[in-house]
Amino acid sequence: MVTADDRHIVISVDCHGGAPVLGYRDYLESSYHEEFDRWAAAYEVPYEDMKGEEGSRNWDSDRRLRDLEQDGIVAEVLFPNTVPPFFSTASLASGQAAVRNAEELRRRRAGLQAHNRWLADFCAMAKGRRSGVFQVMLHDIDAAIEDIRAAVDSGLRGGVVLPGAPPGSGLPPLYYHDHYGPLWETCVELGIPINCHSGGSGPRTGDRREDDMFFLMEMKWWDQRTLRHLVLGGVLERYPGLKVVFTEVGVGWIPALLQSMDRFFDSARTPSGLAGEGVTYHGSHVIDQLSLRPSEYWKRQCYVGASFLHPSETAKRELVGVDKIMWGSDYPHVEASFPYSREAMRFAFAGVPVDETAAMLAGNAAGLYGFSLDGLRSAAGRVGPGRGEVAAGVDPATLPPAAAKCPAFAGAMPGAATTQMGDNRKVVEQSRNAPKIA
C-alpha cells in the first residue's frame, strides 16, 4: 500500500491550452468585436484535435484536472495551443512571421492580449495548480513590455513564450540585438522566465514535401541557435538574472553543444586563436566580454523542459544538470504521454535516486514557475505515482500498443517513435494546411 508520503509530486512543464475560437470574444476589447465577428464567421478550425469532443481538453477546466490527475500530475505549465483572434494558425506554430502591415500587427496584438486574459482566468480556476505562459508581439518592443506587465499583474507567472524571429519576420533575427534588450531587462525585473518552445523559431520555406522534411530536421537547430545567441552574444552576461527554458527540444543535444561552445570560447581566449583540436577565431574582443564559459552560463541561467524524457537522456542528467531538467507530458497533443504518463515516468526514471527524480518531476519547476510544493502535497498524496513504483521502472512489453504514439517510449516497443522528429509533424501540418487571413 503506497501512502501519501510515499508519492511523488508531479508538475508537467509542457502542457497546452486555449479557448475555443468564439470563447475569445469576451476577452477582446469591445472596439474589436465587429472585426472579430467578421473574422470568426469565415474561420474554420484547421486542426482535428481541436474539434469535437477532443477539443474541449484545451479549455474544459474540470476535464483537464481529471485527465491530469489520472496521469499522476497535479500541476501544469500552460503553453498556447488554440488559434487566437486574427491568426490563421496556432500562434506557437506561426510565430511572428508574415506580419504584412501595421494593421495586421494591431489585430494580432489584440488577439494575443485576449488569449492572455483568458489564460489568467483559466489558471485562476485551479489556483496554485496552473502557471500560464503568455504571448506578445515583438515588433513594437514598448507595446510588448506593456503586455508583459499586464499579464504578470493578472497573475500569470509562467513567463513569456519567446516568439520566433527567423529571416523574413520583420524582426532582428539575432536575439543579442539591442532591440530585445528591454525585453530581457523587464523579465529580470519581474522575475519571470523566457520560454523557447520547439516549432516556434524556424522559418517555413515552402509547401513541398522536401520543405517539410528540412523544416523538421532543422527545427532543433533553430533552438540551438537561440542558445548560442543568448550565450555567445552576451545576453546572459549582460542580464545575469535572466532565466531561459528550452521546452520540447529534447535533452541529448545539450552536453555536446555546451562542449562545442566551451571549446570555441577557450580557442578564442588563447593568444594564437588556436587550442587543442584547432578551432580558430580571430578578433576575440567579442568573446573577451564574457566572464564565464558557455557551460557556466547554462548552469547559472538555463533549464530544459524535457517532454518525452527518455532513459538515454536521463542517463546524461549529470552532464546537463539534475537541477536543470524538468519533466513534461505535452497534454493534450496526440503524441502526449497521456494517458500513459505514469508508465512514461517509470520508463524514464528507473533506477534514478529518489531525490533526483523528485527534483526533475517537481522541485526544479516549482522554483522557476512559482508553484508551492506544500500547496500541491495534498493532491499528490491522492494521485501521485509511488516513489518506489517509479524507481522500479516498467517492462516495455507490458505497455499497451497505443502507448507507441508517444516519443517517450522510442525504441522500447514495436511502432514507437524512433526520433523526436515525428512528434513535431503537427507543426508542419498546422503551418501548411491552415487557411490564410485575407
Which tens digit of pLDDT belongs to each residue from 282-304? 546 778 889 999 999 999 999 99
pLDDT of 192 higher than 70: yes
pLDDT of 375 above 70? yes
Angle between helix 209-232 and 294-301 (nearest 10): 90
Lowest-confidence range among 299-308, 396-405, 420-429?
420-429
Element housing 325 (H / E) = strand 325-328
pLDDT in tens, 112-161: 999 999 999 999 999 999 999 999 999 999 999 999 999 999 999 999 99
| CA pair distance 254, 313, nearest whole angstrom | 10
Only one residue has cell 513594437, namely: 140
DSSP reduced 3-state for 263: helix
- Lowest average pLDDT, out of 1-10, 232-241, 374-383, goes to 1-10
Going from N- to C-terminal start, the domains of the chain cover 4-392+425-433
Residue 281's pLDDT is what?
56
Q: What's the predicted TM-score (pTM) here? A: 0.90
Region 230-238 average pLDDT: 96
All cell numbers assigned to 380: 499528490
Picking from 236, 136, 133, 231, the residue whose alpha carbon sits closest to that of residue 181 is: 236
Instruction: Tell me the average pLDDT across 373-378.
Output: 97
- On the question of pLDDT at 424 being above 50, the answer is no
Angle at 328 between CA 10 and CA 311, to 5 degrees: 95
Cell of 327: 519533466
**Position 434 confidence tier, pLDDT thresholds 50, 70, 90:** very low
Confidence of residue 422 (pLDDT cuts 50, 70, 90): very low
CA-CA distance, 15 to 70, in Å (whole number)?
A: 15
Q: Which of 155-169, 269-283, 338-352, 361-375 has the lowest mean pLDDT?
A: 269-283
- Residue 88 binned pLDDT confidence (cut-offs 50, 70, 90): confident
CB atoms within 10 A of CB 120: 20
pLDDT at residue 44 in the model:
84
pLDDT score, position 8: 98
Band the pLDDT of 31: cuts 50, 70, 90: very high
The answer to whether residue 259 scores a pLDDT higher than 60 is yes
Kindly tell me if the per-residue pLDDT of 202 is higher than 80: no
- Predicted confidence at residue 382, as pLDDT, reads 97
Which CATH code fits 4-392+425-433? 3.20.20.140
Question: What whole-number percentage of the chain has pLDDT above 70?
Answer: 86
Residue 247's CB is within 10 A of a number of other CB atoms, namely 24
Min mean pLDDT across 140-154, 163-177, 325-339 is at 163-177
The strand order across the sheet containing 244-247 reads 160-161, 194-197, 244-247, 302-307, 325-328
- What is the average pLDDT value for the chain, to the nearest integer? 87
Residues facing 193 on adjacent strands: none
The whole-angstrom separation of Cα 147 and Cα 137 is 9
pLDDT exceeds 50 at position 421: no
Q: Could you give the CA distance from residue 13 to residue 159 in angstroms, rounded to a whole number?
A: 12
For residue 208, give the amino acid letter.
Answer: R
pLDDT for the residue numbered 169: 72
The mean-pLDDT minimum among 16-25, 151-160, 166-175, 333-342 falls in 166-175
